[in-house]
Structure 1
């Protein structure tokens, strides 16, 4: 019951009383006192009904409040919003960065090989048979341990990126720069893999320097990349080849055209041209390269890389000196060579994989070049290496590897005992923790 209901009932009751009074007056005259008394009772009744309506209205409001509180108490409290947790690393300049690298332990047992204390590939300088051979040696090193930082800064004109990567393969295991560059749009400025001598098409090895036929060259450079379509891009670079035999006046110019034929086949055609300069003379050195990667199956991968170079020894590894001069510093001859490396990798399961590889390099028989050397045992007619390795990853961050490599070099000149061949025969092992 509410106020509107009592007002509805009160109005007709009052009207009835008003009508009844005149009727009663006509039926039997009443005294003035009786009329006043009746009016007073009607007024009192009206007051009581109004008071009752107010009480009911107050009770109704109170019940409404109780129901609202009950509903609030019954409703579950909203769960607190969980804030995303994580480590956001930023530099003082506001760049985001991430850290990566590995802790790497290398060891080898050398049946025959190079005499240098460093345990990595020395195929171009291994002693000739019977002439100061370095046999039955155990070597170990942590120098290939690596640390890297990747940076990115968002700007109104696009992201600016950068990388710094170092290891300990400098002189006497000192810290050295591997990569240090910035990227902006299609441009790269700094030191990274050469645009000409790239490691992408080398078969996998344990040796940190790779084997003959491949290249692990990093140069300071300015590089521009142009993408024709999602499958094809052209990269042009001006590079400092760091050739100590030449007085650099102009940077080396390199170009690579890369095309992805399908998800399983990728090729790269590359070219290089550079000036070789002495105090008295200059000459142009040049080279071409062709690399390919082919996925034979989901678990079997093939890599191959080929180079033909004339007059340069700074880009492709393990080569003879690029050019020779006379007493007047005139360039009288250049070395010209072909090299190839190829290999197949099998992923046996998520933990095990292995690679079989082969590399070969052959120099031209240029008499002017060969006769410029007093000791012809120091220059190589041909080099080759073959290797087999297996890697095991018991858990994702850890990689354990074992590798056997055998190779030979053939010199243009013979040792006093008549030998022209040197031997590289060793077993490599590695343990890496990648982070």
Structure 2
């Protein structure tokens, strides 16, 4: 019976495809092909990326070199370090079938674990018409709010993460666009009780993200996301583990506002409960849900708020500068144990010289301050980065 239904489905699909093809062929004006006309190539390859050389000076020891993370300070002791690196460089390869419009794309950088230079997968996806499936920037992200910076991470309060997903995007007109996506069920980052009960995180339900954008050069974009958090729990060692699911939620608003042709503001504001891992400052830190300090047999979701304000000004066609503030705030004191991040503030300025579309050079100067729950001492660090970038 299953074979019959499968066969009927194939037949109907073939017939429908043939009918659509016939309609398309009939609608095409018949022109006489000349000897000078070349047939359309069915496959097309494109190669893109950039080579970036960085010279970095830090006044504190940071565990992570490529990209500024003030939360990665080993201690608050002032010690000066310098690094030469090209790991931020990226290579991308795309392949498109011109007959169907199907496109595949893969992108790597060279940021390996423990500050090693190794290829790392960034993007790998397939697109067809309005659909995309694979690993790309989350539907929460608004990449147009990325200012003309040289640092790999940018403002730490931004929500820039890459995820496996299935996404549908629709442009209603030049000013209106919406998108919806199902994203990696492994997104939540939680902390489980350290005891003999053996609780386990369980990847069960995907994240749901919807976004809407209004405007053209100046615009506003909003996004909402739901993140089911599933884990196996029990109250004593004699019980069987049972699946428990709680729902994390979040909202994200972003905008680019042009003051004039050479100046613009880039704005981000986000808030949520149980979805802090989407913020660069809190990514994969286990802060979406933590053990309840009053009852270790349950988890409490932590609230977060983050905001970015960046001003980008082009002095002329070749010179630009950016100044930004970034703030990330997490949790309630009664649920946050000692050492959990409380507040991460990050400011920066830069100047970039870009004589052509394929080359730019300049510097970023950044400074970060980190507060942790139930600790009175703040940690702070600064970084000066010089970079040269060749794009292709």
Task: Establish whether TM, by shorter chain, passes 0.5.
Answer: yes
Counterpart residue number, 2:263: 300
What is the CA–CA distance in structure 2 between the aligned matches of 1:243 and 1:330, rounded to whole Å?
19
Which of 106, 112, 134 pairs up with 1:164? 106
Please say if 1:266 is aligned against 2:266.
no
What is the CA–CA distance in structure 1 between the aligned matches of 2:50 and 2:315, rounded to whole Å?
24
Paired residues for 1:87-126 under 5 Å: 94-112=42-60, 114-126=61-73
Q: Select the structure that is richer in strand.
A: 2
Stretch of structure 1 that moved more, 186-195 or 203-212: 203-212
Please say if 1:322 is aligned against 2:288.
yes
CA contact (8 A) 1:306 1:338 kept: yes
Query: 1:293: Cα distance to partner?
Result: 0.5
Please say if 1:380 is aligned against 2:341.
yes
Q: Could you give the per-residue CA deviations for residues 160-193 of structure 1, whole angstroms, max 9, x where no partner exists?
A: 1221111112323321111111111111111111
Query: 1:358: Cα distance to partner?
Result: 0.8
What is the CA–CA distance in structure 1 between the aligned matches of 2:169 and 2:163, rounded to whole Å?
17
Larger radius of gyration: 1
Secondary structure of the structure 1 residue equivalent to 2:71: helix
CA contact (8 A) 1:144 1:208 kept: yes
Please say if 1:176 is aligned against 2:144.
no
Secondary structure of the structure 1 residue equivalent to 2:347: strand
Counterpart residue number, 2:137: 193
CA contact (8 A) 2:167 2:180 kept: yes
Q: Could you give the per-residue CA deviations for residues 339-377 of structure 1, whole angstroms, max 9, x where no partner exists?
A: 00011111112221110111011224240x21xx3xx12
CA contact (8 A) 1:272 1:288 kept: yes
Q: Report the number of matched residues.
A: 332
Residues 1:243 and 1:141: Cα distance change in structure 2 (over 3 Å): farther
Query: 1:301: Cα distance to partner?
Result: 1.5
Paired residues for 1:67-146 under 5 Å: 94-112=42-60, 114-127=61-74, 129=76, 133=77, 135-146=79-90
Secondary structure of the structure 1 residue equivalent to 2:145: coil
Which of 341, 349, 354 pairs up with 2:308? 341
What is the CA–CA distance in structure 2 between the aligned matches of 1:84 and 1:208, rounded to whole Å?
46
Calculate the TM-score normalised by the size of structure 1: 0.71
Counterpart residue number, 2:361: 400
Residues 1:84 and 1:420: Cα distance change in structure 2 (over 3 Å): farther
Which of 351, 367, 370 pairs up with 2:318? 351
Residues 1:275 and 1:83: Cα distance change in structure 2 (over 3 Å): same
